[in-house]
Structure 1
Amino acid sequence: MTEEDDLDELGEKLYSLVSSKHGEIAGKLTGMLLELPDAVIKQMLQDESVLNDGISRALQALRQESQVVSEVEEASASSDSLGERLYDLIDLHNTGHTQKITGMLLEQTKEAVLQLLSDPELLEKKINIALKTLIEQGEEEANMTDSDGEGESIGEKIFHLVEQIDPTHSADITGMLLEMDSESLNQVLRDRSLLEVAVQRAQSALAAHTQTHSST
């Protein structure tokens, strides 16, 4: 008989004894007892007091496991419930950002959230802070969008200046100047002589480009 067969036989005998006392959870208890050393299992089969002691320990472990699971489920349900209650209260303030503000405030500890639910003034204060943060974030995003268009406004300024020097090629020269870095562009805008030098270089480059194409 192999070790596995021996364990199966022990399991069947053990299950038979356990099921007579705890029919509904006999399978679970037997599985737990079978994790014990073979010598202990054999002793249980021969001595009812040892078996009862083993079953008591297994039952205690099951109760603890069940308690932990229920506590986790309760905590999870409690968290969901807090979120729903907080959402409903924040929604009364008509900020237009109920969901975002709820999410921000739920990042606090459970105790802090419970305090918000019981203190309307504190809740209003926290809502205003969260709303201010969201508005600032929105302004930052808007500023970033504006800065993306900054090249266009500089381009317009340079175009008008270049147009005064070389109206014929103002568009081409402006395009060439806009390839410069922002610091150089600002210097060109502030200093007319630098602008004229930059325009002359661009004119030379344009002339050379035109000459090359006309000779091909």
Structure 2
Amino acid sequence: MDAAEDLETLGEKLYNLIYPKHKENAGKLTGMLLELPGPVLSQMVQDKATLTAGVEKALRALQLAKEPSKGPCKDVDNVSVSSDSLGEQLFELVDIYNTGHSQKITGMLLELHKEAVLNLLSDPKLLEEQVNFALKTLKEQNMEETDMSDTSDADDTERLGEKIFSLVEELDPLHANDITGMMLEMDPAALQQLLRDHTMLEVAVHKAQAALDTANQTPEEHSNILHTE
């Protein structure tokens, strides 16, 4: 079964489930729900509670979409009474898409001009485009963070080592290799903090220098100094 046939089958099942309680809007509600991801639709077909929640959100979206047509001026006054009210209405619509990032996406959209946000409330198609764009942006941000912090251990250690070495070399060129090697035994999160805080880096370098000074005389003390990190 290809994707189109699969979607059509899900649509028929959803329509049959929605029709008994929402005869007048069954078609519209089904169409709105079919814009959601496939796995969510499958869950709705199997789980009555999930379907009910989705239908309720879609109904609220229909009601909000109809309200602006009653009178633009009056609607603007009502909807823009407070940012909280605007945010709540926008969240309700965004949450229909079950992206898993409703709160973040709503926050991103609320950064737009108020008129633009009002347009999103009254234009489901425009809202869908903005939600997809925001979701794409979030995914790209996550990928960048993954590239920075979740690369393989070997690559991560090598990059951290290079950055740490360049900073340590400025403080103690003679022992930069030894000190960097000692520091790389620390937790990666602690190393990242050293890169951000030069004072903490200097303290760590001093401790490592002390450890090197005493290494030949008292190995136990050397170990104790490192464990204070």
Greater Cα radius of gyration, structure 1 or 2 = 1
TM-score (norm 2): 0.36
Greater relative contact order (Cα 8 A, min sep 6): structure 1 or 2? 2
